[in-house]
Structure 1
Amino acid sequence: MSTSDQQASPPRLAIPELLIGVGLLACAGAVAWQTLAIPVSPLYSKVGPKIFPYITMAGMVILSLLLILAAVRGGWQPEEEKETPTDRKAMGFVVAGLVANLLLIQPLGFTVASVIMFVLVCFGFGSRHPLRDALLGLVLALAAYFGFARALGVNIGAGLIENQLNALVNAVFGIGRG
């Protein structure tokens, strides 16, 4: 056996992993661009509405650079996973869930769009319990909605369910009564 046979070949550039890292870096650039567009009142102290988007962007940049470095070193997938064919049907359900969320959030509201997305993504990952997935998705979507709407005051897409629950919460807790 020659010395060249004993040496491992240098790792190949992992193109799919590289594309994920570059895509994440592009998303970080979009976050930076949109954060620069946030108007800031001169009344804010040094910690204003731009701080958390910038922290998020910095994390995305660090993660994307680590992903790109891993791709240059051959990727993070073990060899046996690289040989596994892509399950296009499962990927289709996940993509369908994301697209459904984008298309349905405006007309139906955050909760309904999120539940539909959750059920489709769960199906894509192999779950065959749509009722359980819908109930779990409903709990998570409502928690996220009320976390944003009530705790942070951010409207992320109120629909019929959200409007009814807001009215119920206001009636029970007497919010909005003079």
Structure 2
Amino acid sequence: MTLTETKEEPRTATSWLREHSELGVCVLLLALGVLVLTDALTMDVDIAQRGPVGPKTVPVVVGIGLLAVAVLLAVDVLRGGRGQAEAGEDIDLSEPADWRTVLLLAGVFLATAVLIEPLGFPIAGALLFWGAAYALGSRHTTRDPLIAAGLSLITFVLFNNLLGVPLPGGPLMGVL
């Protein structure tokens, strides 16, 4: 063997899987497509259908689309295609994760889930919007709660009154 020649490492199953890691996404898409199709085709629909498009149409199309994308992606990966590496945009990948922000956001979402029934959406939603703004770094003590309350009330009125999606009103239900 000369100095310019290099000894190739033996190919193992682990190295092959590492080189074709995008196949994991294919498996996920395939499983999701099967789940969506199974759920759509076993859907019990009682309403009379008026035309070719019924309540099963969109889920079936989405499920078939997921299966098609899974197969096409798998073929591309097996032919040597690779996903483009993430450039990181303006993120410094050498910095550690900001776990304080992540934990604050998780706490705000958990508190909203617990408080939405007793307090209603307008109050719990305002706490959610204000808490998320605080967790993400905003420190305007007068402006943020006012914006959060306004967003929450607008969201409640839009969903509850205009779209017909009932949200829990809590103690404010008689007022709104």
TM-score clears 0.5: yes
How far does residue 38 in structure 1 lie from its aligned partner after superposition? 7.8
- Give the RMSD, CA atoms, in angstroms: 4.4
Give the partner amino acid of 1:112: I
**Residues 158/88 of structure 1: CA separation in 2 closer, same or farther (3 Å cut):** same
One of 122, 125, 147 as aligned partner of 1:111: 122
CA separation of 1:115/1:46 partners in 2, compared to 1, >3 Å: closer, same or farther? farther
Superposed counterparts of 1:19-168, under 5 Å: 32=36, 36=40, 39=45, 41-42=47-48, 72-78=83-89, 81-165=92-176
Is there any run of 5+ residues in structure 1 with no aligned partner, and where?
1-11, 166-178
SS at match of 1:160: helix
Compared CA separation, residues 72 and 128, structure 1 to 2 (3 A): same
Deviations 1:8-38 (A, max 9, x none): xxxx99x9xxx9x89x969x77x948x8458
Identity %: 26
Distance in 1, matches of 2:175 and 2:134, equals 29
Matching residue's letter, 2:101: A
The 3 A distance-change label for structure 1 pair 144 and 78 is closer
User: Structure 1 pair 121/153, CA: closer, same or farther in 2 (3 Å)?
Assistant: same
Instruction: Work out the number of aligned pairs and report it.
Output: 140
Question: How far apart in 2 are the matches of 1:158 and 1:106?
Answer: 8
For residues 51-86 of structure 1, the C-alpha deviation after alignment (integer angstroms, 9 at most, x for no partner) is 8x85xx78xx7xxx9xxx9x9422251485211221
Which is greater in Rg?
Answer: 2
Structure 1 residue 122: Cα displacement: 0.6
Question: Which residue does 2:6 correspond to in 1?
Answer: none
Which has the higher mean CA deviation after the structures are superposed, 39-48 or 75-84? 39-48
Q: Aligned partner of 1:100: which letter?
A: A
Instruction: Please say if residues 129 and 152 of structure 2, whose CA atoms lie closer than 8 Å, have aligned partners that are also in contact.
Output: no
What is the Cα deviation at residue 41 of structure 1?
A: 1.3
Which is richer in helix? 1
Deviation at 1:47, TM superposition (A): 5.9
* Equivalent-residue separation in structure 2 for 1:132 and 1:111 (angstroms): 17
Instruction: Give 1:40 deviation, angstroms.
Output: 5.3
> Are the equivalent residues in 2 in contact too, given 1:40–1:48 (CA < 8 A)?
no
User: How far apart, in 2, do the equivalents of 1:48 and 1:77 lie?
Assistant: 43
Deviates more, 1:40-49 or 1:149-158: 40-49
Alignment check: 8 A CA contact 1:38 1:50 kept: no
CA contact (8 A) 1:119 1:130 kept: no
